[in-house]
A and B are shown apart, each in its own frame.
Chain A
Amino acid sequence: MPKYVMVIDIERCIGCMACVIACKKENNVPEKHFRTRVVEEVRGEFPNLRMELRSELCNHCENAPCIDACPTRASHRAKDGTVQIDRKKCIGCKACILACPYDARYSHPEGFADKCSFCEHRLKEGKKPACVETCLGKSRIFGDLDNLSSEVVELLRRHDFSVRLEFAGTQPRVFYIKRSFTGGL
């Protein structure tokens, strides 16, 4: 079984938001809800500034608080290691939404919890997640961590990387790589 991960090359993100809307259309995400977002963070004072544009989504954690919090096993780990939600089992109690430290889940108007699935249905067809496919900057890279010749392995080998809220101990499968750079004057 593959071990799917996403690598996000922060510097290549140009904030175009194509990922956000491609995801919405691909997964028929209801109005006012999103499965992914791009966060802008600025540091410094004019004119000495630095900015980071950071894609955020479900981290498909190895140690997933949402799975622990789910009373019905609707939130579960699929065979490929990704974290998925069985809509039929979900009772809409929202425990998982509160348990997730990444604010990656929302309550679907039809009464179940929903979040990024790494486009599970596309993976089955041999395609990449919709956000990855359309990413103009090729800032989102998807692949199998167990495949040593994959691009994700290569990137994680070559660069420093981090995960969000490492101290939470969730062991995310979304990795952020960063090259050294100096913005501003």
Chain B
Amino acid sequence: MDLSRRDFLKIAATAGGAAVATNSVVKTVLALGKRPVSLPQYIPTTCEMCFWRCGAIAKVVDGKVVKLDGNPIHPNSRGKLCARGHGGIGLLYDQDRLKTPLINTGAKAEGKFKKVSWDEALGYIADKMQKIKEKYGPESIALLTHGSISTYFIHLLQAFGSPNFAFPSFALCRGARDTAFEITFGEAVGNPERIDIQNSKVIVLIGSHLGENAHNSQCQEFAEAVGKGATVIVLDPRFSTAAGKAKYWLPIKPATDLAILLAWINIIINEGLYDKDYVARYTLGFNELAQAVKEYTPQWAEKETDIPATLIIETARVLGKNKPNVLIHPGRHTAWYSDNVQRQRAIAILVALLGAYGRPGGIYLSPKKKLEPVFLSEKDYPEHKPELNKGNYPFAGDEGLTHVIVKATLTEQPYPIKAWFITGTNIMKAMPNQKDTIKALEKLDLVVAVDIMPYDGVMLADVVLPECTYLERHDDFFVVKERALGVSLRQPVVQPMYETKPGWWIAKELGKRLGLEDYFPWNTLEEFLKTKAQIWGVDYSELVKKGYIEIPESSKPYLLPDENYKFKTPSGKIELYSQELKRHGFDPIPKYTKHEQPPEGWFRLIYGRAPVHTFSRTINNPSLWELMEENVAWINTKVAKKIGLNHGEYIVLVNQDGIKSNKVKAKVTERIRPDCIYLVHGFGSTSRFLRRAYLRGADDQQLITRYAVDPIAGTVGMRVNFVKITKEV
């Protein structure tokens, strides 16, 4: 429902500039002999149940959050929240939350904790950090991080003298996609992706399972397009929710997606179905591309992919006929195989051939205005040794590579890593090869984890610091780059519970103990936010009331007819043929790579999302847990019949290295190919501190002992593990 303007003003008036609701307004009607009635307060903030960061409005009664709703004026939520967004209350009131700072008194990673004060915990960490700095240099302290807290800890580490941070979200998630689009168009597709899905006539999803991933505004637009009769083409070994909406479900053999993409490019060029004016005006390297893809015929692709050539041709013609209003979804989690960047390059090239970049229904352009960065402090960071967090991967992003940090810790090359900070990420579930992670942890002099819940990765630390939830804190502004540019505020809707503290406070207090107070020249984060808003010319008090402010006249989604647009590539054109890749010794146009397929009796392990969970971060959330307490292993009906397996029966999966999963129920279904098994990611927690989630379901990451690395950007391939089914649970 859209709140009317008047309703919204009423809400704003109740929120009344007071950012923190400590007491709700009580209207006494004793004269009528009734009990006092508490009036709810409605406070806007920014959700962090996932990375989509929707605008949320909290309904607070008597200091308790009773409901969360989507903020109608925020472009990522549009008045709606997903299941997890509504379930934010479950996180806030989860009894298993981290409540006080903890120090491990047992052996490394033993998890024998004693409760300590903040002063003791921070003093302990600062002392260890100084010792490590004296002996090995400040660069030997690394940071693995995700989410809003990253801002403060990257700042702290850089102020201390270490450039070595890494976000799992790059190498293990969307890095390949971003790199490929930067190489081709000079710019990544953004977060949320700049896709104009509501205006698409054809939507191609390559493993993207919209609906199951519950990316709020994108799902809203997807349903809108489906409602308007868009043709959906889904390439997925699994009949996903989105496949259920598709005219064409192409149940492709895993690891062969690039074959179909190259065949499509070939057909579209061959049959003259590409946008000739667009290609001539905006792109470079068309002739080289046409030459290079000649060998990728539909008949060849059929053998690789199991998809009939006739269907490959038919779908290519659907794309060509509907250009440019075609969305080839660039995907998000693209950490699949050793050729991630090249596969994503093929997607980018296809987008360009169809003239769909900067056109309705394709990929819209970035907002035309910018907000200049305002840093937590103006003070320069100290000089340091060259960073090691990008390894030898020429196209690795600035977010760093987690596996390089792990390797450097194990090998001490090019220099030793002696401490890890782990903030806002569960390293046991985010990173493959858990054995290496544990071995690396054992080598460290100091491991500090800052998080909200006692996840398995968190409880391996020497010191655990409890952060408060997003509903209890301020965070740095979120710059929203939707069609228009905007600013979204996170503000506390209730006071922090227990001994928990906001991430910014933890970084600042630790900074103080390290003699870095000059890097935090403000008393509270809100003080900094007010200054920042002033620099940007944004009215802070309005932001407090509304939660989101759009920057006027910042939207320019489409190219104008015949516009002389300059892309941010070295040539200023869309690079179908990449000079940059060539210069670094890589294929300038994607070539097909054949990947190993599972031997007889083995299945490829594939994994994905469920709409009610955000990886391992929500599996203990009481509101969400009851909707999905554990994951299930999807197994094709014929396979199950052959081995006498019943739906709902518990099984164990064993991978090629003999690693056994926790027991997991079989979902016997027609909805998956016979050569793979699918698990929803994030389950099978080994943290006994998560009383609901402990040992519920199977952990896909535990079975991902092997991973491929893409030589271009260092992104990881995690769909390279094979499993067998055993009934010995």
Contacts and interface: CB of A to CB of B under 8 A. Distances in A.
B514 interface: no
B284 interface: no
A46 B453 CA distance: 41
Given A49-B670, A53-B241, A16 B83 contact: yes
A182 B232 CA distance: 11
A133 B69 contact: yes
A134 B78 CA distance: 9
B311 A21 contact: no
A46 B81 contact: no
A51 interface: yes
Interface stretch (A66-74, A136-144, A168-176): A136-144
A115 B220 CA distance: 28
A31 interface: yes
Contacts of A138: 220, 223-224, 227
Interface string B627-653: 100000000111000000000000000
B612 to A, nearest CB: 5
Given A26-B67, A46-B673, A47-B249, A18 B626 contact: no
Contacts of B211: 14-16
Contacts of B67: 25-26
A26 B69 CA distance: 10
A21 B246 contact: no
The listed residue with most B CB atoms (<10 A of its CB), out of A24, A42, A179, A183, is A183
A47 B87 CA distance: 35
A183 B244 contact: yes
A133 B72 CA distance: 10
B247 interface: yes
Indicate the size class of the contact surface on chain A: 35 or more
Given A18-B83, A21-B87, A21-B624, A136 B226 contact: no
Contacts, number: 146
A46 B251 contact: yes
A12 B627 contact: no
Interface string B169-197: 00000000000000000000000000000
A136 B251 contact: no
Interface string B204-220: 00000011101010011
Contact of A32 (B82, B626, B669, B672): B626
A185 interface: yes
Nearest to B611: A16
A159 B239 CA distance: 27
B612 A183 contact: no
Nearest to B624: A21
Contacts of B89: 25
Nearest to A129: B1
Contacts of A90: none
A21 B83 contact: yes
B623 A12 contact: no
Given A25-B89, A185-B248, A136 B1 contact: no
A85 B169 CA distance: 49
The listed residue with most B CB atoms (<10 A of its CB), out of A11, A17, A133, is A17
A45 B87 contact: no
A137 B223 contact: yes
Interface string A30-72: 0110000000001011110111110000000000000000000
Contact of A181 (B66, B247, B611): B247
Interface of A: 9, 11-18, 20-22, 24-26, 31-32, 42, 44-47, 49-53, 127-128, 132-139, 179, 181-185
Given A132-B1, A181-B247, A185-B249, 13 more contacts: A14-B219, A18-B82, A21-B623, A25-B66, A46-B637, A46-B671, A49-B243, A51-B671, A135-B80, A136-B214, A137-B223, A183-B243, A185-B311
The 10 closest A-B pairs by CB, nearest first: A137-B223, A14-B211, A51-B244, A133-B1, A17-B83, A21-B86, A16-B611, A12-B223, A46-B670, A128-B1
11 contacts: A15-B211, A17-B83, A18-B214, A46-B672, A51-B671, A133-B80, A137-B223, A179-B229, A181-B247, A182-B247, A185-B248
